[in-house]
Amino acid sequence: MKTAMKPRLHLPMTLAGLWFGWLALAPAKPSVATALESPLRDKTLVVWVAPANLAQRGGSVLTLDDGRDRFDGVVFAELAPAKWMAGSDAYQRTQKEQAEFSEETADPKTFVQIAIVYQGQQVSVYRNGMRYSQHRMADAPLEFGPACRVNIGKRHRSQTDSAHFAGAIDDARVYDQALTPDQIAALKPNVASGPKPWAWWSFDDKEAKDRAGRFQVTELTGGAKVEDGKLLLDGKSGQFLCATGKEIPWAYETPSWPANPPAEWLTYHLAHPGPGNAIPGDPNCAFFWKGRYHLHYIYTHQDGYAFAHVSSKDLIHWKWHPTTLTPSKTGHGMFSGTGFLTKDGKPAIIYHGQGSGRNQIATALDDTLEKWSQPMPLEPKVRPDQDGSKIAHWDPDAWLDGENYYALSGGNPGSGKPPTLFKSADLKNWDYLGLFLTNDMPDVQKDEDISCPNFFKIGNKWMLLCISHNLGCRYYLGDWKKERFTPDFHARMNWRGWNFFAPESVLTPDGRRVMWAWCKLDFPQTGIQSLPRELSLPDDGVLRIKPLRELQQLRYAMKSEADLAVRSDVPQPLKQISGDTVELKVHFKPGTATTFGVEVYCDAEGKNGFPITIDPAAKTLSLGDLKVPFAMKPGEPVDLRVFLDKNVVEVFANERQAVVASHRYAPANLGIQLFSKGGDVMATQITGWKMKSVYFTP
C-alpha cells in the first residue's frame, strides 16, 4: 500500500439485559416501532466471557456502534495487559489511567461476568458483580439510534490494527437502562431474569439470533463460530456482526455512478463515484476470467479499507460489483496486491492485510469473483542460517512458474527493508528464499522503496512494475534466473507528486500486457485510474507505451485538418477541432523550430491554455511546466496522441513516452491551437474526435 492513512477510531460494545419474567426464549418478531424509539443513552453492557489467553491485546467482547465510527464497548487489554476497560472512539469516554485496575486471572474454561454501566456521565465497570472501576466522562454519553450495530471480536468495525478477541462468549446483553449493582449480580447467563434486555444473545442457535428481536441480521465472519451454546472467536479474524436492517449494512455496499453527475466529473476515465473516497485508490488484483476483465481498487468503505470491484468486457465500460472484500469479511483492511491463477486455473489474490502484519492469500469461490475464501496469511519458514529480519511483510505480488509459486514482498517505506522472495508448492507452506534483487540500480537511491510490485515476462526480458513513494510509478527490466531478479535498466513513469502512482497490469487473451495506475490529481473525484496502456518490448529493448486500442470505440464526430504550416511565434488555432472531452492525433514533421507542440484548453482569445511542448535539443516533452525525458533522432517526426477528459490530460509521444497531468477545469475554455518557437514546423495531419461517456450514451 502506498500512503500513511488517518487512524480509524475504535468502539467497544454494550450488552443488553434480560427482562424480568421473560420466559419465551424464541426471538421476538421485529417491529417497525423499534425504529421510532428514542435514542439509547443510559445503558448497561453485560457479557459472560472466557479469554483463551491473558496475553492477548485489544479485542472486544461486546461493542455498540452508532454507525458513524463512534462506539462504546467492553474491551480487553488494549491500554494495559490483562485489564478490562470501557472502550470508546479515540478513548473519549475511556479511563486511560488503569494502574489501579486488577488483572484478569481466569483460565480459558472459566467464564467471568463483565458489565459496564453508563449513567449520565458516570461509567462503572463490574466483574462478577463487584465494582472493578469507575470514572466520569468529560461529556454527555454517546447516543445510539435505530441504525446502531453490534460487533464482537474487534473493538470496532474499522480499526486499523489486527487485534481480535480470542476466547468464548456464553451470553451477551445490552440494557436500555443503568442497572444497579444488585441487578447485575442477580443476572444468570442464558436465563431470563431481571429487567427486560434491549438486545440479548445467548448463542443457543447456530444463527446466534437476538432473542429480543431488535437486531434482525447476524453474521459470523472469519474464525468465528457458534458451538455448544457459545460464541467461539479465534483471535485472528473471527467476528460476530449484527444490524437492524435486512443485511449487514457495511457488508455489501455497491458504488454507483449517479444519474446526474457534476459537470466537472470525468467522462471516459474510470473514477470512484462513492460512497467513501478512494485515497488511496490503488488498482489491484486484475484478471481476465470467463469473458470479463476484473479489477479491484482500494477505497475507504464504511467498514474500513476495502477493495472496490469492477468488471468489463472491453477494459473501457466498467460495472461495479458489490464490495465483498471488506475488513468484516477478511478480518483486516485491504491494501495493495495482485491477482494470479492457481495450478488448477482458479483466480487467486495476494495482498497486504492492513493491520494484520502479514500478506494474505485468498482464492475465488465463484465465477463473478464476488465470493472469496477466508484469507491465509503468508507465514514464511526461515532457516537458522537465514536473516529473517529483512522481511518487510509489505505490498506483495505472486506468480506461478512451473510447479512452484513465488511471492514477492516489496520493501517497506521507512523501514529500510528490501524486497524479499518466497516459494511454495501449495500456497500454504512457504520457504524464505532471501533477497529478490541481485543488485541495486545505480540511478535509484537506496532510501527509495519498492511498493505495489507487479513482476512479469515482457519480450525477452522480465519487468518489475512498481512504485517508489518518493518518485511514483517506475519499472525495472532485467533477467529472472536462479530465483533472483537482475535488473539492468530502470526508468520512471511519473514525474510530479502522485500523478501516475500505484500500478497494476493484466495479460489480455490476445497476449497484450495492459496496465493502469492510480492518479492522485487536483480534481474533485478520487480513485481516478489512468487510461489503460498497452506495454510491449520489441527487439530493440525500448519499452513501447500505447493507449489501449479499445479506446477507439469511444470516438465520434471525427474532424481533421492537414498540412498546416505553423510559423514561429504565430499560434495556429484549429478551426474544426475543439473541446474538453477529446482525443487528438497530431503528426509533426520537424522543421527549423527549436520547440513546438499543441496548446489545449485555450479561451476564446487563444489565451490561458495548457501547452504540450516538444524540445528536441533538451530531449524533453513538457505538459505545462512538467518536463519529462523524450529523446528523438535528428529529423524524427513526432506523433502525439492527446486525451482530454475535463481537467485530466494524457499524452503519448511516438509510443515511447506517456505522461499524465491535470489542468484547471474551465468549461468555456475549449480551444486547441498549434505553436512553434525559434522557427517553423509542419503539422501534416491533425485528427480529432469527441469521446463518448463510458457511463452514459451521449
- What does the block give as the cell for 104? 484478569
Pairing of strands 657-662, 620-623: unpaired
Residue type for position 533: R
259 Cβ neighbours under 8 A, 6+ residues apart:
none
- pTM value is 0.77
Determine the pLDDT at residue 331. Answer: 81
Stretch 80-99: mean pLDDT: 96
Q: What's the confidence (pLDDT) of residue 376?
A: 95
More confident residue, 618 or 37: 618
Q: Which of 239-243, 255-259, 553-557, 626-630 has the lowest average pLDDT? A: 239-243
Mean pLDDT of 303-332: 92
What's the DSSP call for residue 313? S
pLDDT higher than threshold 60 for residue 17: no
pLDDT in tens, 226-259: 999 999 999 988 889 888 876 665 556 899 999 9
Q: What pLDDT score was predicted for residue 145?
A: 86
User: Cell match 495506475: residue?
Assistant: 517
Quick one: average pLDDT of 566-586? Answer: 96
Give yes or no for residue 416 having a pLDDT over 80.
no
Domains of the chain (ranges; CATH) run 32-243 (2.60.120.200), 340-547 (2.115.10.20), 553-691 (2.60.120.560)
Residue 500 · residue 474 · CB < 8 Å: no
Q: How confident is the model at residue 441 (pLDDT cuts 50, 70, 90)?
A: confident
Note the pLDDT tens digit of each residue in 506-520. Answer: 999 999 999 999 999
Q: What is the pLDDT of residues 487-536, one digit of tens each?
A: 999 999 999 999 999 999 999 999 999 999 999 987 789 999 999 999 99
Contacts of 510 (CB under 8 A, 6+ apart): none
Spatial separation of the C-alpha atoms in residues 349 and 454, rounded to whole Å? 12
β-strands 404-409, 396-401 pairing:
antiparallel
What pLDDT score does 443 carry?
77
Model pLDDT, residue 158: 67
Residue 414 has pLDDT above 80, yes or no: no
Q: What pLDDT shows up at residue 14?
A: 30
User: Which residues in 330-344 are b (16+ Cβ under 10 Å) and which e?
Assistant: bbbbbbbbbbbbbee
Residue 487: cis peptide before it, omega within 30 degrees of 0: no
Phi-psi region of 153 (alpha: psi -120 to 50; beta: other; left: phi over 0): left
Q: Which residue has the cell 492522485?
A: 520
pLDDT at 39 over 90: no
Q: Report the distance separating Cα 267 and Cα 601, nearest Å.
A: 16
What sign for the dihedral angle of Cα 477, 618, 638, 581?
Answer: positive
Lowest model confidence (mean pLDDT) among 66-75, 361-370, 441-450, 603-612 = 441-450
Q: Quick check: 107 pLDDT over 90?
A: yes
CA distance 35 to 131: 34
DSSP H or E stretch at residue 182: helix 181-186
Dihedral sign for Cα atoms in the order 244, 247, 249, 255? negative
- How confident is the model over 330-342, as a mean pLDDT? 94
Could you tell me the pLDDT band of residue 587, with boundaries at 50, 70 and 90? very high
A 10 A CB-CB count for 443 gives 9
> Which residue is associated with the grid cell 465483498?
324
- DSSP lists the bridge partners of residue 457 as 462
**pLDDT given for residue 136 in this prediction:** 96
Give the span between the Cα atoms of 15 and 43, in whole angstroms: 8
Q: Which three cell numbers stand for residue 540?
A: 530493440
Place of cell 520547440: 595
Q: Cα–chain-centroid distance for residue 294?
A: 15
CA pair distance 648, 268, nearest whole angstrom: 10
Q: What is the mean pLDDT of the chain?
A: 90
Grid cell 477528459 is found at: 645
| pLDDT band, residue 26 (cuts 50/70/90) | very low
643-650 mean pLDDT: 96
- In this prediction, residue 25 carries a pLDDT of 33
For residue 51 the three cell numbers come to 479469554
Instruction: Kindly indicate the confidence band of residue 160, based on its pLDDT and cuts at 50, 70 and 90.
Output: low
Please give the Cα distance from 377 to 222 (Å, whole number): 13
**What are the pLDDT digits (tens) for 267-307?**
999 999 999 899 999 999 999 999 999 999 999 987 789 99
- Residue 107's DSSP bridge partners are none
Q: Which residues pair with 310 in a beta bridge?
A: 295, 320
Instruction: Express as a percent the part of the chain with pLDDT over 70.
Output: 93
Sign, CA torsion 110/111/117/118: positive
Q: H-type helices in 241-342, by residue range?
A: 327-330
pLDDT in tens, 393-405: 999 999 999 999 9
